[in-house]
Each structure stands twice: as structure tokens, then as C-alpha cells.
Structure 1
Amino acid sequence: MASNRLNQIDIKLLQALQVLIEEGSVTRAAERLHITQPAMSKTLQKLRDTFNDPLFTRTGQGLIPTPKTQQLSLRLPELLHQLYELVSEEGFNPAESRDRFRIATAEMISFTFFSPLVQSLFPIAPNMQIIESTLGESYLEDLASGKLDFTVHLTTSCPDGFHATPLASATAGCMMREDHPLSGSPQISMEEYLHYPHVRVYFSRMTLNDVGFVDQLLANIGKRRHIMFETTHANTAIDILRNTDCLMVGSSFSTTPDPASFGICERPFPPEIDFPELQFALIQHERTLNSPAHNWLKQQIVKSATNHMLRTPVQPFKN
């Protein structure tokens, strides 16, 4: 039974295995653990009995790991680190952290969100690992199960068992290529806005009924735009804008700190479209609320978002 196998595991054996993997030599492993070579050989035999595998083969170049050991080497460092944190009385130390965090975002904000965050983490937590994934339909279930640690979403309200930390708010406007026929207009009329085809960048659960904000506002006044292309990839949408007369709802922070570098400009919506301010939040499950590592990273994310995502206004009209 699995429980009987677990009873055979000695943490010191796992530590010894990690040292053997790193050193590739019984002699050097013994020296590093401050034990005799015969004692190290006995430890290796215990490890072989525990895992029912030779673990290493001896060659002139040292110990060569078996496939079983290669598999163990991928998981063992993280496991030992987690066990250390479990029994450690010290607080979270980002400089030594090898924690792995999975964060899901809408692709439209990935560039602006992750690049500044990783830049800020690199000097203070160089061994931490951030894994990005695309925000999907099951993000709440994934947060609850541990498949995700955080998500960034256009909402500040959560169901029971989840917690939202406000990150940033930003205005939105009508995006288009710089030489678009409407780019010279300080104010776009509703007729002009609806005359051109549109690109829509979609992400899961973007609104309660999964209809874009502007489409809801248009429906409220009996209007409808023609969405020629829909995508989850912001870069694809930007490329289409650069090469067509399509329009897109967006904010400069969702593409690049400098939209003009992509040949894109932003203009205010027609007066009839009272577009709400975009409110972004960091969402987590309650299981991580008391985790020192998660709380530390949350602080860094809030700081990064405040510095790089907060309140990007629509660009003023220039002749």
C-alpha cells in the first residue's frame, strides 16, 4: 500500500539522494554530508531498497543516474524546499525562494503586466518561477484546486471562498492605425464609429454575459457594430489594426506603454458611449490567504501594477 511505502521514507535519505545527484560521487557526497564513505554507501543501498531501483550505475566518470533518478531529480529539489518551509520557523525569504507560482491573465494585458513584474522580481527573488497561462473558463476551479495561484481579471467581486485585491483602473478608447481616416478627428461621431468594421479582443468571462462592454452599451441604445474579427491574441488584433481600417476597443496599457511605437493611436468614443473605467483585480482562493510566499508576491504584484498599469488616459488629440 502507498501508506506503507510512505512509512519507509526518511527525509535524511531524500537529502542524501539530492547530494548524490548533485555530486555524482559517493566519496564527494560523503564529504559534503560529513559522514564516512562506507556510511554513504549504506545510505545509497537504503535508497535503492526504498525506490526499488539501482538509482545510479558506476562508470569511470562517476555515478550515472538511472531514468528513475532523472525523474526524481526534477521533483526532489522543490519537494525538499517545501518540506524545509513547512518546518522552518523563519519568515519567507524571497532571496532564497524557489517557489513556483502560476498566474493566469487575459492575453490583452500580458505584456504590460508580466514584463514589469519579472523585472522587479529578478533582483530580489532570482530563483522564483512565474508561469503564465491564459485566463480560461475554469479559472475559479483552477484557483480552488491549486492549478493556479492568482488570476488577473476585470472584476473586483468574487464568489464565496475567493478574494479580490484591486490592482489598477484605466480608461479605454477607440484604437485605430495612425493614418486611419478617423485619426484626424478630435471627436468621432456615432455614425463614423459604426461605419467601420471592428476587431474584438475576447477573454473568458469578460462580462457577466460574455458580451463586450461596448456591445452592451450599444445594445442599450439600439445600436450594433460589425465585428469583422474576434481573437484572444492582442498582438494579432494590433497587426490587423495597423493594416486595415478596423477599429478596436482598448487602452494603451493593454498593448504597450507607447502605442505609437506600434503605429496605433487612440481617440475618445462617440459621446453616446459612456464607457466605464476598467477595474482590474488580483484574484486568489482563500486557501492561499495565510501563505507568506503568496502574500509577499501579492505585495510585489500590487506595487508593480500601481507603477505600470494605473490610469492610462486616452491620448489627447494632436493636429
Structure 2
Amino acid sequence: MSGTDNQLSRELLVFLTTLYEQRHLGRTATRLSISLPKASRLLAEARIVFEDPLYTRFGHGLAPTARAHEVTAQARRVLEEMAKLFAAETFDPAAMNRVIRISALDNAIPIMIEPVLELFMKKAPKAGIAILPHDEHTLLKLRAGEADLAIFPAVNLPADFVSVPLLRTPYVYAVRAGHPLEGKVQNGTLSMQDLEACRRIQICVHPDTDDPIEGVPGPAEIPLKAGRTMLWTEYWLGAVRLMHRTDAVLILPWRTAKALSEERPLTVLARAESVPWLEPSLIWHAHTTLDTGLEWVRSLFISALRGSLRPLEPDEVRLGRLGDDSALHWS
């Protein structure tokens, strides 16, 4: 550094880490609630301090130089240490009035967000939760600070993200209570021939990139002509409601079937043995790891859904009608 390194303030470090996330001077100014001229002055100051341009224009944004990558990594470490130095010894969620932004598919609501909500509102009565769509932009939003947490399977997650698995549940074949297939179950089992004779509801999951298999939740294309599938939807909760109005078979996670049967009985016919288990995780960007408010929220999810960080216990499936204790059960 040059002799101007006495200008290396916390404000400049925060500016540099935010600019690295946003790659745009205007968005950085907005994020930090400062004017665009001040953001320009801070960048000019940083260029002098580090004797490097740090960013060059690229399209409608800015591209970091090699030196900018190094400086940002160092700045994050310094800010993390400063946070530890000045952080209060205790965190009081009752004083928190921020909105926690969580990106998730709608099936996360009954099985992962609802179990946390009551305690969250009780402990942090001034705070709120915003449920954002989970799509191909989720990781970008987490990096940019436009989302705080996300819930989805942590497959091929980039190195700058952190994840904690929340549950492990298998997929099952489900139908409405009173479906004709209930009468075809023999000795607790149903033949695949009987099962495949019924039409299906297809849940189209995006941004999932698995190979599409008809009937299995995934990135299925909607055809011009219907075949075994009779309904297509991107909404898990909507698919269950539609299932109750038809004789269609729906493949969905056991945990989802169990939770939604509390509202309206449904029947689990069999395990979908060929479908990989659902293993969603709580995901966040590494730059928010030391955020005490988010750390507290993450602890709520872990406590409510896992109890601890011990190895996950896989769900056990109960076949038969759920939500009606007087009805038939096969296991």
C-alpha cells in the first residue's frame, strides 16, 4: 500500500465488499444508502490506497481485477474480526425488527417454514419473514444481499455458500381419500400395473435440471398432447388440492403428504422406490455467517427440524389413509 493507507476505514472496507457483490456502482450506492458521487469518491480512494484500478467497465457493470479479488477476501476477514470485537455478548431477538427474506418453493411452507414460524414470532415479535421464489437467480440474490436464506437441495453448491441439511424424506404415491385404488391394495401392497393404470399430476420443478421422468417432480416439459399425465403445475400445494378433485396419482415427499393430511385426509399407496429422497438444506452466503440475527434464525430451523446437528434421521413412511384415524392403514 502507499502512504495513504491511513484512509483504510471500516466504511471503505464495507464499500469494497459490497461493490464486489454488486459489480455495479449505482446498486452499491443504493445498497449502502449513500449517494452515487460518494460511491465514486470511495472507489477513487480505494484505487489510490491499493495502487490498482480494482474494477474495469464490463457491459453495464464492473469487472474486478485480480487485485480486487485479493483485496475483497482480505477486507471480509478484517470485517469479520471487527464484528467479533464490537459485537454485543448477547443477542436479543425481541429487539430485532428486520425482515428475513427466504427463497423457497411452496412445499417448504408446511414442512420447513411453518414449524419455525410460531417460535420466530414469539421470540422476535417486531420482525417478519418474506418468502421469495426459488429460481435460477436464487444464488445471485444471496450473493447480492437481496435474500438472506434459501431452502433447496444443496447439490453442486458453489464454494462461497454454506448449507445445513434440514430433513431426509422419501417420495410416495398419494391419492385422495376414497380413491378406487384403495380397494386394490392386497396384503398392504399395490401392484405397479394398477398404479400405472391411473393418470398422473406432474409437478414441474424449476430450476431443477434432473432428467425428467413422467410423474416424478422435475423439469418436465409440457407437451402439446396429453397422455398418462392429466395436469401440470409448478405449485406443490396446488397439486395436492387438484389431486383431491381427481382420480389422479401424485408423487410427492412423504413429509409433505403427512403435513397436508392434517388439513384434509389423503391416502399414501406406496413408496416411490425409484425416486431419490428429498434432502433440502438451509443455505446462505458465507458473507452472512457472522450476522447475529441470521445466526439466530438459522438456529431456529436446526432446532425445529433436526433438534441438533447430529446425523439426520430419515423419515419412516406410514402407508394407508392419513388424517383419518378411523380409516384403513397398511403399515
TM-score w.r.t. length of structure 1: 0.63
Confirm or deny: 8 A CA contact 2:154 2:281 kept in the other structure.
yes
2:120 is matched with 121
SS in 2 for 1:268: strand
Matches within 5 A, 1:160-171: 160-171=159-170
- Quote the Cα distance in structure 2 between the aligned partners of 1:305 and 1:176: 26
SS in 1 for 2:162: strand
Matches within 5 A, 1:81-160: 89-91=87-89, 92-160=91-159
When you count helix as a share of all residues, which structure comes out higher?
1
- Quote the Cα distance in structure 2 between the aligned partners of 1:137 and 1:177: 33
- Quote the Cα distance in structure 1 between the aligned partners of 2:160 and 2:278: 24
1:56 is matched with none
CA shift, 1:152, in A, is 0.6
SS in 1 for 2:114: helix
- Quote the Cα distance in structure 2 between the aligned partners of 1:164 and 1:280: 10
SS in 2 for 1:158: coil
Distance 1:154 1:226, change over 3 A: farther
- Quote the Cα distance in structure 2 between the aligned partners of 1:137 and 1:206: 9
Structure 1 counterpart of 2:317, one-letter code: V
Pick one of 259, 276, 296 that aligns with 2:261.
259
- Quote the Cα distance in structure 2 between the aligned partners of 1:153 and 1:5: 35
Confirm or deny: 8 A CA contact 1:156 1:164 kept in the other structure.
no
CA shift, 1:209, in A, is 4.6
Q: Does 1:316 align with 2:315?
A: no
Q: Does 1:249 align with 2:251?
A: yes
Confirm or deny: 8 A CA contact 1:252 1:259 kept in the other structure.
no
- Quote the Cα distance in structure 1 between the aligned partners of 2:38 and 2:133: 40
Distance 1:306 1:95, change over 3 A: same
SS in 2 for 1:163: strand
CA shift, 1:156, in A, is 5.0
Structure 1 counterpart of 2:276, one-letter code: P
Structure 2 counterpart of 1:290, one-letter code: L
Structure 2 counterpart of 1:302, one-letter code: I
SS in 2 for 1:168: coil
CA shift, 1:212, in A, is 7.4
Unmatched 5+ stretches in structure 1: 8-84, 217-224
SS in 1 for 2:178: coil
- Larger radius of gyration between Structure 1 and Structure 2: 1
CA shift, 1:153, in A, is 0.5
TM-score w.r.t. length of structure 2: 0.61
> 1:243-263: CA deviations, max 9, x gaps?
211011113422552516423
Distance 1:295 1:203, change over 3 A: same
CA shift, 1:148, in A, is 1.0
SS in 2 for 1:136: coil
Higher RCO (CA 8 Å, separation ≥ 6 residues): 1
Structure 1 counterpart of 2:117, one-letter code: V
SS in 2 for 1:290: coil
Confirm or deny: 8 A CA contact 2:198 2:249 kept in the other structure.
yes
- Quote the Cα distance in structure 2 between the aligned partners of 1:287 and 1:5: 21
SS in 1 for 2:181: coil
Distance 1:215 1:280, change over 3 A: closer
Structure 2 counterpart of 1:315, one-letter code: R
- Quote the Cα distance in structure 2 between the aligned partners of 1:99 and 1:212: 42
- Quote the Cα distance in structure 1 between the aligned partners of 2:260 and 2:180: 21
- Quote the Cα distance in structure 1 between the aligned partners of 2:190 and 2:291: 49
- Quote the Cα distance in structure 2 between the aligned partners of 1:215 and 1:153: 14
Structure 2 counterpart of 1:303, one-letter code: S
SS in 1 for 2:190: coil
2:282 is matched with 282
Distance 1:267 1:154, change over 3 A: farther
- Quote the Cα distance in structure 2 between the aligned partners of 1:312 and 1:99: 34
1:303 is matched with 303
Paired positions, count:
231
- Quote the Cα distance in structure 2 between the aligned partners of 1:138 and 1:198: 30
CA shift, 1:281, in A, is 0.4
SS in 1 for 2:279: strand
Distance 1:288 1:210, change over 3 A: farther
CA shift, 1:135, in A, is 1.1
Q: Does 1:294 align with 2:297?
A: no
Matches within 5 A, 1:151-300: 151-184=150-183, 185=185, 186-209=188-211, 214=216, 226-255=228-257, 257=259, 259=261, 261-269=263-271, 273-300=273-300
